[in-house]
């Protein structure tokens, strides 16, 4: 019996192409509705076949930088907000302030690089030492006094910098040629942070795609209301994070109908476009992606397998190409049913409610486990793995919640 590392992946790819067609054939079959060349087969629950081997991981995870002092938070901050980004912020803030000063009676003293660093320091401190009103940070009332703020910068100067804080030159903005017109005022910073996040660190094998909400209650045409999120109102992000640490490796800001996605995936469903746009640089390297039922679909699984990327996630049974046997099968509590096509497995399991999973590296194996209250229960192996790997974006939100520097408006 050969080991998993000795498995012939080129042979697997050929056999999969024979069983359910190439990527182009998948697209044609989806359009025509003919899936005879990609037949779903029943899988025995009592005697399940072995799980398909995972694609060999070819990434080089870890940090791609060095710092003199591993315990110095400022050293890590400067990796992302380096002199290039800070110079851009200082330049555009001074440019915008001078434009506004000419149109009003306000007087403005040009902000320096040192002042901008102090300004950001105070913003971070406000997230740690939260008070109902920002001006209370400079209060001399014995109940609220925090001397550090006054020593760093006067209240008047801080509010003045905050008033004119700017990130791009609006004079040169042309909506016809700009790569993302709706985000033009913050686009230079977004581009630089995109590059920083992906170049300074390579994630481990298990990664997660999910959405996150940045609190915002001001006027904005693409502001979202998601009652299940803590913020409820805000700007929606699609994030790709490392499952174990919550490190944000790539992100997309939702801007309504004009959300910018990768053009080469434009013929695919929207949720598939979002996932493939985020994971595109990592395809072909043996990563394992986990998503929830908003993104998971057989079509996405087929494409990821063709790019040597494993996939696992909860599935809506109403998705296109989900077999009728899975959609219509009624189960009693504890029962499960599974079907397979090539490397893609769909397993439906009845717990307190129906749970449907899709995976490219699991068998319908059932595992004995214990609940938080100590009660023994049998769960599908893919459900246990999903629960361990899906929390990457939630972990990121937890880290951000410790330092809430955002403002409602």
Please give the pLDDT value at position 204.
Answer: 97
DSSP string spanning 5-16?
GG--HHHHHHHH
Contact yes or no for 37/24 (Cβ under 8 A):
no
Residue 10 burial (CB count, 10 A)? 7
pLDDT tens string 84-113? 999 999 999 999 998 887 766 667 899 999
Please give the pLDDT value at position 321.
Answer: 92
Q: What is the mean pLDDT of residues 46-66?
A: 93
**CA proximity to 134, closest of 170, 161, 99, 107:** 161
pLDDT tens string 119-147? 999 999 998 888 888 899 999 999 889 99
Please give the pLDDT value at position 125.
Answer: 92
- Widest CA span in the chain: 83
Q: Which of 65-69, 216-220, 270-274 has the highest mean pLDDT?
A: 270-274
Q: What is the mean pLDDT of residues 214-227?
A: 88
Please give the pLDDT value at position 37.
Answer: 41
DSSP string spanning 295-325?
T--HHHHHHHHHTT-EEEEE--TTSTT--HH
- Please give the share of the chain, as a percent, with pLDDT higher than 70: 89
Q: What is the mean pLDDT of residues 358-376?
A: 90
Q: Which of 27-36, 48-57, 269-278, 294-303 has the lowest mean pLDDT?
A: 27-36
The overall average pLDDT reported for the chain is 87
DSSP string spanning 193-205?
HHHHHHHHEE--S
Contacts 24+ apart (CB under 8 A), 91-94: 92/166, 92/167, 92/168, 92/169, 92/188, 93/161, 93/164, 93/165, 93/166
Confidence class of residue 232 from pLDDT cuts 50, 70 and 90?
A: confident
| End-to-end CA separation in angstroms for the chain | 62
Q: Is the pLDDT of residue 217 over 90?
A: no
**CA proximity to 44, closest of 368, 345, 361, 358:** 345
Please give the pLDDT value at position 398.
Answer: 85
Please give the pLDDT value at position 270.
Answer: 95
Contacts 24+ apart (CB under 8 A), 178-182: 179/260, 180/255, 180/260, 181/258, 182/222, 182/255, 182/256, 182/258
Please give the pLDDT value at position 102.
Answer: 72
CA distances from 259 to 182, 270, 339 (A): 9, 10, 35
Q: What is the mean pLDDT of residues 361-389?
A: 91
- Please give the share of the chain, as a percent, with pLDDT higher than 90: 69
Please give the pLDDT value at position 31.
Answer: 35
Query: For 349, which DSSP code?
Result: E
pLDDT tens string 233-278? 899 999 999 999 999 999 999 999 889 999 999 999 999 999 999 9
Q: Is the pLDDT of residue 35 over 60?
A: no
- Strands 288-291 and 206-215, by their bridges, are parallel
**CA proximity to 252, closest of 286, 285, 295, 284:** 295
The number of residues in the chain equals 409
């Amino acid at each position: 019996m050969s080991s998993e590392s000795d498995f012939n992946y080129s042979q697997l790819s050929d056999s999969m192409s024979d069983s359910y067609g190439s990527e182009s054939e998948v697209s044609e079959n989806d359009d025509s509705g003919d899936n005879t060349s990609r037949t779903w087969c029943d899988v025995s629950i009592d005697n399940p076949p072995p799980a398909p081997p995972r694609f060999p991981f070819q990434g080089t995870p870890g940090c791609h930088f060095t710092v003199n002092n591993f315990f110095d938070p400022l050293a890590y901050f400067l990796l992302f907000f380096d002199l290039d980004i800070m110079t851009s912020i200082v330049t555009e803030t001074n440019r915008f302030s001078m434009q506004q000063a000419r149109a009003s009676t306000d007087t403005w003293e040009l902000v320096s690089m040192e002042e901008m660093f102090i300004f950001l320091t105070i913003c971070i401190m406000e997230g740690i030492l939260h008070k109902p009103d920002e001006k209370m940070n400079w209060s001399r009332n014995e109940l609220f006094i925090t001397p550090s703020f006054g020593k760093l910068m006067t209240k008047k100067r801080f509010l003045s910098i905050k008033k004119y804080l700017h990130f791009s030159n609006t004079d040169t903005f042309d909506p016809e040629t700009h790569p993302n017109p709706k985000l033009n005022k913050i686009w230079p910073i977004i581009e630089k942070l995109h590059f920083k996040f992906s170049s300074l660190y390579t994630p481990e094998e298990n990664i997660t795609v999910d959405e996150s909400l940045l609190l915002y209650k001001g006027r904005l045409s693409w502001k979202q209301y998601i009652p299940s999120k803590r913020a409820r109102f805000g700007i929606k992000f699609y994030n790709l994070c490392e499952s174990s640490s919550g490190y944000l490796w790539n992100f997309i800001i939702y801007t309504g109908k004009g959300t910018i996605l990768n053009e080469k995936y434009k013929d695919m469903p929207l949720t598939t476009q979002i996932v493939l746009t985020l994971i595109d640089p990592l395809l072909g390297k043996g990563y394992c992606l986990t998503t929830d039922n908003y993104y998971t679909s057989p079509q996405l699984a087929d494409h990821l397998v063709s790019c040597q990327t494993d996939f696992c996630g909860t599935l809506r049974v109403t998705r296109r190409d989900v077999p009728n046997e899975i959609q219509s099968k009624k189960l009693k509590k504890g029962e499960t049913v599974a079907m397979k096509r090539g490397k893609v497995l769909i397993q439906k399991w009845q717990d307190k409610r129906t749970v449907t999973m899709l995976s490219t590296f699991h068998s319908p194996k059932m595992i004995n486990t214990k609940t938080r209250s100590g009660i023994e229960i049998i769960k599908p192996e893919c459900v246990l793995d999903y629960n361990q790997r899906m929390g990457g974006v939630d972990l990121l939100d937890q880290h951000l919640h410790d330092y809430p520097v955002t403002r409602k408006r």
